[in-house]
């Protein structure tokens, strides 16, 4: 009797990236690495060409524990100032 594989929508296991296991994406790595040379691990708001880093990138790194909010910006309260965490430094040391 031949074996058949049936996949029912919604039952597949989430990928490692969705579960937060594994390393950062290239964009997350780029953002996190910029904090390595900064005082206190301050992470930038803007990339090398002046474009703001994606809010999704920032939030994802916070959720995974690689970055954390540092302080509130009174001039621009909608800008999230973050710094690199020890966990973020460890994940970068494995990929850089």
pLDDT at 13: 41
CB 43 within 8 A of CB 31: yes
Reported CATH class of domain 22-95:
mainly alpha
Q: Give the model's pLDDT for residue 56.
A: 96
Distance between CA atoms of residues 36 and 9, nearest Å: 42
Give the start-to-end residue ranges of the domains of the chain. Answer: 22-95
pLDDT at 2 over 90: no
Task: Return the closest-CA partner of residue 92 out of 40, 32, 48.
Answer: 32
Confidence of residue 4 (pLDDT cuts 50, 70, 90): low
Task: State the pTM of this model.
Answer: 0.75
DSSP 83: E
| Per-residue model confidence (pLDDT) at position 73 | 85
* Residue range 28-71, pLDDT digits in tens: 999 999 999 999 999 999 999 999 999 999 999 999 999 999 98
Confidence band, pLDDT 50/70/90 cuts, at residue 72: confident
Of 46, 38, 84, the closest CA to residue 65 belongs to: 84
State residue 85's pLDDT score: 97
């Amino acid at each position: 009797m031949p074996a058949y594989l049936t996949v029912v929508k919604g039952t597949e296991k989430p990928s490692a990236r969705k579960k937060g296991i594994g390393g950062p994406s290239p964009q997350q790595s780029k953002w996190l690495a910029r904090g390595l040379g900064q005082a206190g691990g301050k992470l930038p708001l803007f990339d090398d060409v002046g474009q703001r880093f994606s809010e999704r990138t920032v939030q994802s790194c916070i959720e995974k524990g690689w970055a954390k909010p540092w302080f509130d910006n009174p001039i621009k309260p909608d800008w999230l100032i973050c710094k690199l965490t020890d966990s973020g430094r460890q994940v970068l040391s494995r990929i850089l």
